[in-house]
Amino acid sequence: MTTPVARRPQLSPDELQQLKWLLGGLLTLLGVGTVLYMDIDAWVLTGLTVAATLATLLRPELPGRVPRWVHALAFPAIAAFFAGDLWLKMELLPAMVRLDILLLIYRNLSYRQRRDDLQIIVLGLFLVIVAGVLTVSLTFAGHLLVYTACSLAMLLVITLGDAAQVGKPEPAQPIRETPSWARHTDWRRLLRRLQEVTDWRVVGLGAALFAGVVGVSALLFLAIPRFQIENSMFLDRFITKKAKSGFTDVIRFGDVSEIQLDTSIALSVDVSDQSQIPVTPYWRMLVLDDYSNGTFRLSGGLRAQFGSERTNSFQTGQARPRLGEKAVWTFYLESGVSRYLPLLGHFDMLRFRESQNYRFAGALALVSLREEPVSMTAYRVEGFDLTTLLPDPVFAERWRRRHEPDQKPVGLQTRLILRDSDHGVLRRTVSEITGGESPGAAEFARRAGEWLRRQHSYSLTPAIPGGDGDPLIRWLVSREAGHCELHAGSFVLLARAAGFAARVVTGFRGGSWNGYSNNFTIRNSEAHAWAEIFDERAGGWLRVDPLAPVVATTGEEPRGEAAVAARLDRSWAARFDSLRVFWYRRIVNFDQRSQAETLKAVKEATQNTGRRLRVALEGAVDNLKVWLTSPWDEVRLVRVAAFVIGVGALGWFLKSVGPGWWRLRLRGFGHRRDDPVRREAGRWLSRLANGEAAEEEAGVIADLQRVRFGARPTWPEPARVFQRAHQALRSRRRRAVSRTGSGSG
Amino acid sequence: MSDFVAASQLNDAKQAVAKLQANMRLTIRGKDDVIEQVLVCLVAGGHLLLEDLPGVGKTTLAYSLARSMDCSFSRVQFTSDLLPSDVTGVAIYDETVKEFVFKRGPVFANIVLADEINRATPKTQSALLEVMDRARVTIDGEAHAVGAPFMVFATQNPVDYEGTFPLPESQMDRFLMRLRMGYPEPRDEREILRSARGGYDAIALNPVATRSEILALQAMVPQVFVEESVLDYLLRIVAATRTEAEFRSGVSVRGGVALRTAAQARALVRGRDFVLPEDVTDLVPPIFAHRLALARQTSDALEERRAVTAALKRIVGSIPTPS
C-alpha cells in the first residue's frame, strides 16, 4: 500500500539560480565594502559597483538588456584601464584593487555561469584579504567571518545547482539572453520558499559546525607558536601612505577652517599600573616652534634634533623613573593618525613589536616614524616621566649662555618675525598682562592664560577679524572666540614678546577610561594644541594649556584612581570599543607573553569553574542528605506527594498532547489552522512512511490519514490511533532488529 | 442530507467501483492506472480526451466502460464533412403528424465516443463541446437533455496533424482530463494476442453497475472532505502555474475547480471520503497539462506535451506536501 510521504520540498533550478544571483550580489557588496576602510582611491568605482549590484538585484532582467558590444569590449577595456592605471599612478596594489572592482562590476552586469560565480567568490576574497592585511582591524575579522559564511552558502547553492543539472552540460557560450529565472524574480517569494525548503535542523547543525571551526581556529591560534605577521606580509608597501586626521608639522592661522568632530578612535592605551595615570594626560606628538607669516611649523633647528633615521625595535629615552614607578604603557595607534607617536613626555624605554624605521628627538621626547602607518601600530613605553615639566638640560645651558657673544640666537625659540605694528600690539598686550612687572615663566603663564580666557571664549568655529597684519595677532586683540590652536599660538606669541622661549605642542588631551577593557581610549575629537614655555629656574619646558582652567605649575600632577574615576566610560560605545581593544591585545598584538597570559587565564577559568561546580554539587548532595534525614512530618509528606503528582501530571499531559502543543504555543496563535491533533497525526504518518509498511499497519495508517486529512466528525479516537501507531512503529523496529540478528547469525 | 459521506454509502461506492474495475480489466490488460483515471473522470462527471496513436485501445477502453454499465453507448467518427446535425440530431418534417419532429443524434447516449475529434470542422466540434458543457441540445428553441450520466470520450492522434483542426485552448478546458494509453507491457500484449476477440461487438462484458449507482457515485463527490491544508496545497499549485515563466498563461479557475473535483472523485474511487495530498499530486498532469501552453515555440506537439508535463512535475516537486 502507499502512504503519503512527507516530502521536503526542494528549490527549483530557477529558484537556485535566483538564490545564486542574490548571494553573488551580496558577496560583491561585501567585497567592495572593504574599500570603506582601505586607504585606496576607488570611491567612484565602489559607488558604481554598489549601484550596479543593487540595480541588478532589484531587476535581474537588466543584464539581458546590456548591448552585445559592451560584452565584446568589456575585457579589452578593463585590461586597458588596468594598464593605464598602473602606468599613470605607478602603484600596483591600488591598481589591482580597482581591477578587481571592475571585474566585479562586469560579473554583476552579465549572467554568470558556474565559473563566473566562483570568480566572484575569489575576487571578493581578494579584497577582503587585502583590506585585512592592510588594516588589521576588528572590522576585518567581522567582515571575513560574514564573507566566509556567505561564500560557503554560495558554494552550497552552486553544488545543489550542479546536482539539479546533472546530465545537462553548461552552455559553452556566455549567456546573453535573459534567462527565464531572471524574468520572474520575486525576492519575497524566494525568501518564503527558502523558509519552506530549509530544514532548520540542518541549518542549526551547519551553524554549529561553522562555529566549531571558528572556535577550533581560535584555540589553534592560542596554541601555535607566535610569529610576526607583518614580517610575512608586504602588501602595505605597495600602497602610498597618506594622513587622515591631518596631524602635520604646520599650523596655518590665516585660513582657519572648521574642525570636524571625528569621534573615531585615534589611540588606545593599556596601563600596567593605574596609580600612575595622570588626571589629565597630554599625549604629545609634535612641537612647532617656527612662527612666520601666520604659520607655525617645525623649524630646521628642531628638525635637526630628530637626528638620523634608525632601524631598531627599541629606543632608550632620557627619563630615569624611581624604583617601583616604572609603569608599562602599551599604545595602539590607529592607522592614518600621524607618523609622530603620541607620548606623555620623557620615557625610559620604548619598544616596538618589530624593527621600525624612525627618528628620535631625545630632548624633545618625540619619535617620528619614517612613514605614516596604514595599519594599527603598537608600541610599549616603560617609565614615563609624568611631571608637567619637560627637563631639557641642553637647551637650559644654551639659554643660560644666550647673551654670550659667541652664541647665535638660532633655535632659542624666541623669534618673532612680525611687522613693527604687530610688535607694538604684542608689547602693549604683554605689559597689560604683566602690569609692568617681570614675572617668572610659571607666573607669566598663569597670567597670560587668565588674560586669554578672559578675552576669548572657546569655539570650534572661530572667526578671525579681517584687516592688515598678522592674522593671529588680529585675533589676539579681538574678542572673537577661538579653538585650541589659536589660544596656544597666541600664548606663544605673547610669551616670546615677553622674552620667554615658547612653542606650540600638538597631540591629544584627555581620553576616556574604558570600564570594560580597562584602558584609555582617545578619540580624534580629542586632538588638542597647547604650549610649552621654558622655565629657566626649573631648567625645562613647562606645559601651558591656555584653555585649561588651572595653568599647570612645576611639579607632579595628581594621579591614580581619582583620574580613572573621572574618566570612566561604561557606555555601550565603550563596550564595543573594548572588543576592539581585545582584538588588539589578544589577536593583533599577540606575542608570546600575551599567549602565555591567555593560556594561563583560560586554565585558571576552567579550574575555577570546575571547582565551583564541584563545590555546588557537593553542597547539593549534603543538603539532600540533611533534607532526607530530617524528621518526616505530615506536612512534608503531603508536600512531597503533591510535587510527585504534579510532575507526573505534567509528564502525562506532555505525553498525551505531544510536542505539537509546545510548537503551537511557540508559533503563536496566528496559525489557527494548525490543528495540533492533525499535526500529530502528520508526524506519525511521516514516521511510518519511512521504511517498509507491513500488512498489519494498513489499518493504523488509514486511521492516521483520516485523523490528518479527514473530516473531524468522522475521526476515530485520536489518542487510540496514536497509541496504535506507536505500537506499530515499535513492532516494526523489533522486526528490523530480529531480521538483523538472524541475518548476522 | 449529511455533509459527509455515510459509511454505508462509502461501502456501496467501494463495491461499485471494484466491480467496474474488475470488469474493465477483463478487456483492458495491464492498464490499471488508466482504468482508474477513466473511472475518476466518470465519477467526477467530466469528459475525457484520449490522445494516443491509433490502435492502442482507446475505443476498446470507451466500449468496455460503456458495456460495464447499464448505459447506452454511441460512437461518432469525426471527419471533415461531418455536420453539427450529424452529431446533435435534426428536426425533420413528419408528414404523418404534420409537424417537425426532432430526430436525436448519436450524442444522445450515456457514453459517447467522439473518434478523432480534431478531424471535424470547428463548427462541428463546437456543437459537441456545447453539449459537453450544458448536457443538452437546443434545436429550434427546444432543449433536449442528453443522457445521465453523460460522458464524452474524445480521441485524437497527437502525431498526424495533416488535415486536422486542432482544438482551441478554450475548448480543451471543457475536458476534465487528457490521458495517454501507451503501449501495453510485453506480458500484457501477449495476453491480448492470445485472446481470439474480433471487433468491438465481440466484447462480451456484462453490465456490473447500474445507471443509478453511477449517478449516486457522482452525487457523493461533493461530499468528499477536503482538508484546509490540502486545499492550500492545491491552490499553491494553481498559483505556481500562473507565475511559471515557461507557460504562456496559468491554469484557469475552472481548471482549479476541476482538480479539486477530480481529487475528490479519486478519493472516492479509492474508497475514501477525504482527499489525500497524493490525490492532488497524481492528478496534476492529466488535469492541467492540456490546459497549459508553452510560452516558447516548439517544433512539434509531442515535444510541447513533454515540456509542459516536465514543468508541471517540477512545480509539484517544488511545493511542500502537507504532512
**Residue B278's pLDDT is what?**
92
The answer on pLDDT for A363 being more than 90 is no
Averaged over A480-494, what is the pLDDT? 89
CB A398 within 8 A of CB A411: yes
Residue A399 cell numbers, joined: 639659554
Q: B320–A9: do the CB atoms touch at under 8 Å?
A: yes
**Residue A101's pLDDT is what?**
92
Chain B residues whose CB is inside 8 A of the A10 CB are: 317-318
Chain A residues whose CB is inside 8 A of the B4 CB are: 711, 713-714
Q: Which residues contact A567 (CB under 8 A, 6 or more apart)?
A: A510, A511, A512, A513, A520
Residue A265 cell numbers, joined: 578612535
Q: Can you give A2-25 as a three-state secondary structure string?
A: CCCCCCCCCCCHHHHHHHHHHHHH
Of B225, B318, B320, nearest to A12 by CB-CB distance is B318
Query: CA nearest A176: which of A64, A21, A298?
Result: A64
Chain A residues whose CB is inside 8 A of the B273 CB are: 710-711, 714
**Residue A3's pLDDT is what?**
44
What's the pLDDT tens digit per position in B107-122? 888 889 888 888 888 8
Give the Å distances, CA to CA, from B158 to B52, B117, B164, B171, B300: 6, 11, 11, 16, 9
Averaged over A675-683, what is the pLDDT? 86
Chain A residues whose CB is inside 8 A of the B266 CB are: none
What's the pLDDT tens digit per position in A556-568? 566 667 777 777 8
Q: Which residues of A fall below an 8 Å CB-CB distance to B?
A: 2, 4-15, 180-181, 183-184, 186, 189, 193, 196-197, 673, 678, 682-683, 685-686, 705-706, 708-711, 713-714
**Residue A646's pLDDT is what?**
95
Cα atoms found within 13 Å of the Cα of residue A220, Cβ hemisphere only = 6
**Residue A283's pLDDT is what?**
92
What's the pLDDT tens digit per position in A179-197? 878 877 788 888 888 887 7
What's the pLDDT tens digit per position in B7-38? 888 888 888 999 999 988 888 888 888 999 99
Q: In a mutagenesis test of the B interface, which of A709, A712, A714, A715 is the best target, namely the one with the most B β-carbons within 10 Å?
A: A709
The answer to whether ipTM exceeds 0.90 is: no
Long-range contacts of B32-40 (CB under 8 A, 24+ apart): B34/B61, B34/B179, B34/B181, B34/B182, B35/B61, B36/B266, B36/B269, B37/B177, B37/B179, B37/B286, B38/B65, B38/B179, B39/B65, B39/B269, B40/B177, B40/B262, B40/B265, B40/B266, B40/B269, B40/B283
Find the closest chain B residue to A684 by CA distance.
B323
Q: A12–B317: do the CB atoms touch at under 8 Å?
A: yes
**Domain boundaries of chain A, sorted by first residue:** 13-223, 675-744
Chain A residues whose CB is inside 8 A of the B277 CB are: 4, 709
The three-state secondary structure class of A255 is coil
What is the longest distance spanned by two Cα atoms in chain A?
A: 123
Of B244, B273, B318, nearest to A11 by CB-CB distance is B318
Q: A709–B3: do the CB atoms touch at under 8 Å?
A: no
Calpha distance A471→A464 (Å, rounded): 7
Of B227, B246, B323, nearest to A686 by CB-CB distance is B323
**Domain boundaries of chain B, sorted by first residue:** 23-217, 224-323
Tabulate helix, strand, coil % of chain B (nearest 5).
50, 15, 35
Q: Give residue A400's region: left, alpha or beta (phi > 0; psi -120 to 50).
A: alpha
Averaged over A35-49, what is the pLDDT? 83
The answer on pLDDT for A669 being more than 50 is no
Return the minimum-mean-pLDDT range out of A64-78, A131-145, A500-514, B139-153: A131-145
DSSP letters for B125-172: HHHHHHHHHHSEEEETTEEEE--SS-EEEEEE-SS--TT--PPPHHHH
Find the closest chain A residue to B312 by CA distance.
A12
CB A337 within 8 A of CB A262: no
Query: CA nearest A458: which of A480, A491, A478?
Result: A480
Q: How many CB pairs under 8 A join A and B?
A: 78
Calpha distance A573→A579 (Å, rounded): 10
Calpha distance A276→B165 (Å, rounded): 101
What's the pLDDT tens digit per position in A322-331? 766 678 898 9
The answer on pLDDT for A261 being more than 70 is no
Return the minimum-mean-pLDDT range out of A587-596, A660-669, B239-248: A660-669
Q: A6–B318: do the CB atoms touch at under 8 Å?
A: no
Calpha distance A422→A428 (Å, rounded): 10
Averaged over A71-90, what is the pLDDT? 88
More confident residue, A247 or B126: B126
**Measured between CA atoms, how close is A13 to chain B, in angstroms?**
9
The three-state secondary structure class of B82 is coil
CB A92 within 8 A of CB A86: yes
The answer on pLDDT for A634 being more than 60 is yes
Which spans in B4-70 are helix H?
7-25, 32-44, 58-68
**Residue A740's pLDDT is what?**
64
Q: B323–A682: do the CB atoms touch at under 8 Å?
A: yes
Using the Cα atoms of residue B41, residue B45, residue B49 and residue B55 in order, give the sign of their dihedral: positive
Of the pLDDT bands very low, low, confident and very high (cuts 50, 70, 90), residue A27 is: very high
**Residue B198's pLDDT is what?**
61
Residue A400: alpha-carbon gap to chain centroid: 51
CB B323 within 8 A of CB A196: no
Q: Which residues of B fall below an 8 Å CB-CB distance to A?
A: 3-4, 225, 227-230, 243-246, 272-278, 314-315, 317-323
pTM of the model: 0.48
Angle between helix A676-689 and helix A718-744 axes, rounded to 10 deg:
20
Mean pLDDT of chain A: 81
What's the pLDDT tens digit per position in A396-411? 888 888 888 777 766 7
Fold of the B224-323 domain = Helicase, Ruva Protein; domain 3 (1.10.8)
Calpha distance A698→A733 (Å, rounded): 16
Give the Å distances, CA to CA, from B212 to A721, B7, B69, B148: 36, 19, 10, 9
Number of H helices, E strands in chain B: 12, 9
**Measured between CA atoms, how close is A103 to chain B, in angstroms?**
30
**Which residues on adjacent β-strands are paired with residue A352?**
A379
Which spans in A401-528 are helix H?
420-434, 441-455, 471-477, 484-497
- Residue type for position A589: N
**Residue B230's pLDDT is what?**
93
Of B243, B244, B275, nearest to A709 by CB-CB distance is B275
Calpha distance B280→B258 (Å, rounded): 11
What's the pLDDT tens digit per position in A409-459? 667 777 778 888 888 888 899 998 888 888 888 889 989 988 998 888 888
Give the Å distances, CA to CA, from B77 to A96, B107, B132: 76, 12, 17
Calpha distance B273→B220 (Å, rounded): 9
Chain B residues whose CB is inside 8 A of the A200 CB are: none
The answer on pLDDT for A269 being more than 70 is yes
CB B285 within 8 A of CB B258: no
Chain A residues whose CB is inside 8 A of the B319 CB are: 9
The answer on pLDDT for A460 being more than 90 is no
**Which residues on adjacent β-strands are paired with residue B92?**
B101
Of B274, B317, B323, nearest to A710 by CB-CB distance is B274
Q: What are phi and psi of A322, to 5 degrees?
A: -70, 155
Of the pLDDT bands very low, low, confident and very high (cuts 50, 70, 90), residue B147 is: confident
Chain A residues whose CB is inside 8 A of the B225 CB are: 709-711, 714
The answer on pLDDT for A241 being more than 50 is no
CB A390 within 8 A of CB A344: no
Which spans in A517-658 are helix H?
561-566, 572-582, 592-629, 634-657
Find the closest chain A residue to B295 by CA distance.
A180
**Which residues on adjacent β-strands are paired with residue A284?**
A343, A507
The answer on pLDDT for B262 being more than 90 is yes
Query: CA nearest A546: which of A475, A454, A647, A460?
Result: A454
Calpha distance A236→A240 (Å, rounded): 8
The answer on pLDDT for B234 being more than 90 is yes
Q: A4–B276: do the CB atoms touch at under 8 Å?
A: yes
Using the Cα atoms of residue A307, residue A312, residue A313 and residue A319 in order, give the sign of their dihedral: negative
Find the closest chain A residue to B310 by CA distance.
A12
As its CATH architecture, domain B23-217 has: 3-Layer(aba) Sandwich (3.40)
Find the closest chain A residue to B6 by CA distance.
A714
